Amino acid sequence: MATIGFIGLGIMGRPMAKNLMKAGHSVIAFDAFATAALDDVVAAGAKRAASSKEVAAQAPILITMVPDGPQVEEVVLGPGGILEGAKPGTLVIDMSSINPAVSQKVAAACAAKGVDFLDAPVSGGEPKAIDGTLAIMVGGDAAVFAKAEPILKNLGASVLLTGPVGAGNTTKLANQIMVACNIAAMGEALVLATRCGLDPEVVFNAVKGGLAGSTVLNAKAPMLIARNFKPGFKIKLHQKDLRNALQTAEANNVYLPFTALVQQMLNSLIADGKGDLDHSAIATVIESLSHVEVKKPA
């Protein structure tokens, strides 16, 4: 069992830190903003730290789970950050979903201090973070991955090395494109069915066993039909992921028309004050423009 530093205790990070403790690891936790979450994790058995630097000084393995690239840079490279406290040979596993170029920048700074780095973003949202069945996409050196893999398997049902540093986040961007476009297509389909007088739940049950069936459909159609937009993964976070995808596409001369269209839907929802809703609410843009609400008939 290892001593693991965990920095970032949001919707995903809090249950992940708890799963590490359930697996028998010792956790040293820190979050500068989510104080209630930090209190909760400490109550579950973690040791409290006062800074990222303090976490790094005490733990040979660190996991970061923060919103985006600027926060990763602050936590790892900034004043009071990990690299101020880390010893050579420390392993940093960044499980945030960020731009692959930022992962590569942070990895280079870590390497200059003799610190190993993996980017290991996840998919599955809060439910799979809670039950420890996330899909974890890792970028980095194979020998470093071998050191991290047993720990990551406490958090995910699927843990796969996808390539060098940055490959994990590139894979995650591909994942987020497919999820967002799938939700938008689901919205179009169920809006059409509802407008035509059908029960959307019946339509969902009819198609989910066929080629249109997917994990996304199974998770998000019931939420839409029930009008339940409690966030498992927030609109504003998916907007961030698609922004990173479009920036990466621009840097690599790739055409992503559907991604750009769904990004505009996300931007519209955020402008309407709906950024904290679950990303199943992407479908509500189609509803609004069609003047149809997907729900069971009265």
The helix/strand/coil state of 122 is strand
Cα separation, 54 vs 74, in Å, equals 14
Closest of 187, 154, 162 to residue 294, by C-alpha: 187
Tokens for 259, please give them: 């991604």
From residue 258, how far is each of 181, 225, 245 by CA, in Å? 7, 24, 12
Q: How many residues in the chain?
A: 298
Radius of gyration over alpha carbons of the chain, in Å?
Answer: 20
What is the sign of the dihedral through the CA atoms of 223, 228, 233 and 239? positive
* Active-site option among 18, 53, 128, 172: 172
194: how many CB neighbours lie within 10 A of its CB? 21
CB 263 within 8 A of CB 276: no
What 111-115 contacts at long range (C-beta under 8 Å, 24+ apart), as own/partner pairs, is 113/83, 113/86, 113/88, 114/88, 114/89, 115/82, 115/83, 115/86, 115/88, 115/89, 115/90, 115/91
153 is catalytic: no
- 64: three-class secondary structure by DSSP: strand
CA distances (Å), 175 to each of 59, 124, 224, in order? 31, 10, 21
Active-site amino acid positions: 172
